[in-house]
Amino acid sequence: MGTRGGLKRAEIIERVRRRPYNANEIARLIGVDYKTARHHLKVLIDNKILDKSVERYGTLYFWSATMQANTAAWDEIWGDVGEKLESPRRNSDGEPTG
């Protein structure tokens, strides 16, 4: 979570945990442009956090088997991260704005 974009990726992980989304939906939900959402999704796929359906228009992203096997660890991480996301608005580095 300490990396640039870590909070956005955490938000993606938690949203996708509830149900699969495509890149366009994720971009809208987390408030970033499509290209940025695709970047975050690629990082999460490369690190085996998320999996995706067949590559095509409307590809859906969902929790990987690794994440499903480590739900308790994620719950602990999300407990800390969720508080940061609920705090006042933050910039891309996680610093408070305004």
The Cα 77–Cα 20 span in angstroms is 20
Domain count, the chain: 1
pTM, 2 dp: 0.75
Q: Which long-range contacts (CB under 8 A, 24 or more apart) does 48-57 make?
A: 49/9, 49/13, 50/12, 50/13, 50/16, 53/20
In a domain, 74, yes or no: yes
In a domain, 28, yes or no: yes
In a domain, 12, yes or no: yes
- Domain limits for position 16: 6-86
What's residue 79's pLDDT? 84
Which residue did the predictor score with more confidence, 18 or 81? 18
The Cα 63–Cα 16 span in angstroms is 7
pLDDT tens column, 31-90: 999 999 999 999 999 999 999 997 777 899 999 999 999 888 888 888 877 666 665 455
In a domain, 97, yes or no: no
In a domain, 50, yes or no: yes
In a domain, 55, yes or no: yes
What's residue 22's pLDDT? 96
- Residue 94: pLDDT band with limits 50, 70, 90: very low
